[in-house]
Structure 1
């Protein structure tokens, strides 16, 4: 069984600021903000939500099918997928654009400031979701606005259950649009901040939101996650990381584990426990796609 992963492919430029953002920004001077951060370390990684989730699923032995768009600089990304055994049949190349680019700066407390250029991602809606015998599951992850709206409707029309993961794309949608996503989706996955924003825009509480889907997952970073089913909350504790190096891509690794578990027919608590383990593995490595999963991780699932 394969999982269709609708979302972005991007190059991540990751910078480390050795101080704290809070010590460099004066709240009373935000109207004339002008700051500069010295970043002694810089690296460029393969990223984007679809790429990161596909990487996680492949590490777990799954069959991810990323549906995304790359630009005229995306040949290296496609080669990487091929080397990893990830299909590129649903990756569209846009020759007059760059691949999406994320510039991510992390301070010593793992706070992040990100600048994002969407590039080819804005043409992702040209890809179409259609029913296929081997595709039984999907996810709508952060992508171009039109792509997210259209792919959710297409998943529903094709009878493919999917996870709605608004992520950084959540501010693009109003309450009615978000309610439609939830109506179409089988599961919703958000972090705690996104969960509060989603509920605020829809005018509901988490318990009510969970009654509209099969399951609602709220990740809590180092505190693990909450799973909500039919108004009932359950906490799944975090897995301690060997070391905290880089949080970039942790949420996507978690979602890859979620999809892997859903593919296997697991309950949400078991999916969440694997997600917490994968997040702990990822945060101990720099970049979103540089960790590896050994048999011991799956043996504990």
Structure 2
């Protein structure tokens, strides 16, 4: 089953600050903030939520199909997707633009400060879900504002179940727009901060939001995930990681596991257990797409963590 992943493809420049932001950002002087962080370590990675989710879904043996807009500098990423065997049928290259660029600085507490240039992503509405074939499941991740609204509308119109994952795109929408996307969506996934913001903007409680969906997932980092489904709240514990190397892309790894489970017809709880494992596997490696366990290795870890078969 092809899973359509609507979202960004981006180049990530990841820098490590060998100290803690809290030692340099003074709360009483935020109004005159002027700080500079020396970052001796820097690397450039392939990223973007659509690319990261597709990478993790492919590790699991899934069939990811990316829908995104990119710039003239896309060629290195194109070659990578070719090597991974991920189709580029619905990746549109736009002239005179850059592919989206993300600049991430991480401190020793794994806090992050991110600057993002959307580039070609701002024209993601040039792509249409109705142009695809054989898609039975989808996700709308962080992307251009108009594209996220359109793709949510398109999934609903085509009768294709999808996950609404506003992520870093949350500030782009007002309360009514978020309510509309929730009405169209089948599932919604948020981290704990995004969940708070969603409630604030829509005026709805998490229970009320979940009542409109087949399931609401709120991830809480090392504390695991809370699933709101069928009027109940189910807690899925976090999987213990071998090491904490880099949080960049952990949420996308989680979503790759979630989509694999949903595409396989699993319950939301079992799907989120696999999602939790994929997040733990990712955080043990630097960069969003450098972990590369075999499917058999993932299956063995899943059995060890949850006693279930992949």
Q: Structure 1 length as normaliser, TM-score?
A: 0.98
Alignment partner, residue 202 of structure 1: 202
Alignment partner, residue 164 of structure 2: 164
Equivalence map 1:11-50=2 (5 Å): 11-50=11-50
Equivalence map 1:104-119=2 (5 Å): 104-119=104-119
* 1:69-117 Cα shifts (integer Å, max 9, x gaps): 1101001111111110000000000121000000000000000000000
Q: Helix, strand or coil: the match of 2:280?
A: helix
Q: Partners of 2:223 and 2:173 in 1: how far apart?
A: 28
Q: Helix, strand or coil: the match of 1:180?
A: helix
Q: Partners of 1:208 and 1:59 in 2: how far apart?
A: 35
The answer on whether the counterparts of 1:215 and 1:227 sit within 8 Å (CA) in structure 2 is yes
Alignment partner, residue 296 of structure 1: 297
Q: Partners of 2:110 and 2:230 in 1: how far apart?
A: 34
Alignment partner, residue 100 of structure 2: 100
Q: Partners of 1:246 and 1:235 in 2: how far apart?
A: 24
Q: Helix, strand or coil: the match of 1:279?
A: helix
Matched residues, number: 301
The answer on whether the counterparts of 1:206 and 1:231 sit within 8 Å (CA) in structure 2 is no
Alignment partner, residue 60 of structure 1: 60
Q: Gaps spanning 5+ residues in structure 2: where?
A: 304-309
Q: Helix, strand or coil: the match of 1:121?
A: helix
Q: Partners of 1:25 and 1:51 in 2: how far apart?
A: 33
Q: Helix, strand or coil: the match of 1:242?
A: coil
Q: From the superposition, tell whether residues 114 and 132 of structure 1 become closer, same or farther in structure 2 (CA, over 3 Å).
A: closer
Q: Gaps spanning 5+ residues in structure 1: where?
A: none
Deviation at 1:132, TM superposition (A): 5.1
1:193 aligns with 2:193: yes
Q: Structure 1: which 4+ aligned runs deviate by more than 2 Å? A: 298-301
Q: Partners of 2:297 and 2:95 in 1: how far apart?
A: 42
Deviation at 1:199, TM superposition (A): 1.1
The answer on whether the counterparts of 1:4 and 1:137 sit within 8 Å (CA) in structure 2 is yes
Q: CA RMSD in A?
A: 1.0
Q: Partners of 2:227 and 2:131 in 1: how far apart?
A: 29
Q: Helix, strand or coil: the match of 2:292?
A: coil
Alignment partner, residue 173 of structure 2: 173
Q: Partners of 1:298 and 1:180 in 2: how far apart?
A: 37
Q: Helix, strand or coil: the match of 2:289?
A: coil
Q: Helix, strand or coil: the match of 2:124?
A: helix
Deviation at 1:134, TM superposition (A): 1.7
Q: Partners of 1:72 and 1:209 in 2: how far apart?
A: 40
